[in-house]
Amino acid sequence: MSEVSSKSFSCEGCGAKLVSCLFCFDCSSLQSISEESDYFSALGISSEFDVDPDLLEEKFQHIASELHPDFYLNSTPQEKRLSERASTLLNQAYDTLKDPFKRADYLMSLKCKNVKWNDRVLPPTFLQEMFTLQEELDEMLENQDQQGLLKMREVLENRFQDLESGLLPSFRMLDSVEEPETVLEKLQMNLNAERYLRRLLDRIKIEETT
């Protein structure tokens, strides 16, 4: 498993320490985007699962205010392209890191580059439970059972909360144990389970908007 440390970047122009790997606030210059430019360094936050949502929003707004392509309409073609790439990367970073499951998935991809991902491992009895819920959902949709759909949505959202509550303790344990295989398997199970739950929940949301 790879260790992920918070990266430090210096401005390519003035040498100042960067808040974000995408822009220097000291000399107001865009920075080149390299393979080292991950989502955490783009937003200037530590490479860990425990993220303060308010800080994340503050960082995003602060950096986005300098990167928007409209500010570079009279710049060189190279700066225009760089601002577009930087703005896109920043938006992707924010969209990913503000969602606990996307953030967990992304952090796992950084930490476990050499670990083979098992996308079929699931919590015990989970798959049978999903089959049962799928059948119930099919019947509710066919009968347009709005009350039943609301109750199922509540059940699924509670399951989401249960899975989410287990992410932070697992990542803390992952950083502290010498043999992380058991913790990794638990994280894989929870992230795989989230994808099943999300598909069911998305079907309910689509029905509610039609």
pTM of the predicted protein model: 0.88
Does 86 share its domain with 38? yes
Q: What is the tally of structural domains in the chain?
A: 2
Query: Mean pLDDT throughout 74-94?
Result: 95
pLDDT of residue 107: 93
Query: Mean pLDDT throughout 149-177?
Result: 92
Does 107 share its domain with 27? yes
Question: What is the DSSP code (8-state) at residue 178?
Answer: S
Residues 204 and 153 sit within 8 Å (Cβ to Cβ): yes
Residue 190 domain-assigned (yes or no): yes
pLDDT tens-digit series, residues 30-44: 999 988 899 999 999
Chain mean pLDDT for the chain: 90
Is the pLDDT score of 1 beyond 60?
no
Does 107 share its domain with 130? no
- Residue 150's domain comprises 126-209
Confidence class for position 7, pLDDT limits 50, 70, 90: confident
Residues 141 and 207 sit within 8 Å (Cβ to Cβ): yes
Does 180 share its domain with 102? no
The three-state secondary structure class of 106 is: helix
Confidence class for position 5, pLDDT limits 50, 70, 90: very low
Residue 8 domain-assigned (yes or no): no
Min mean pLDDT across 123-132, 159-168, 174-183, 195-204 is at 174-183
CA 63, CA 190: separation in Å to the nearest integer? 32
pLDDT of residue 177: 84
Residue 9 domain-assigned (yes or no): no
Residue 1 domain-assigned (yes or no): no
If one compares 210 and 36, the residue with the highest pLDDT of the two is 36
What are the beta bridge partners of residue 8?
A: none
DSSP element (H, E) containing 67: helix 53-67
**Which CATH number do you get for residue 54?**
1.10.287.110
Confidence class for position 174, pLDDT limits 50, 70, 90: confident
Residue 132 domain-assigned (yes or no): yes
If one compares 160 and 2, the residue with the highest pLDDT of the two is 160
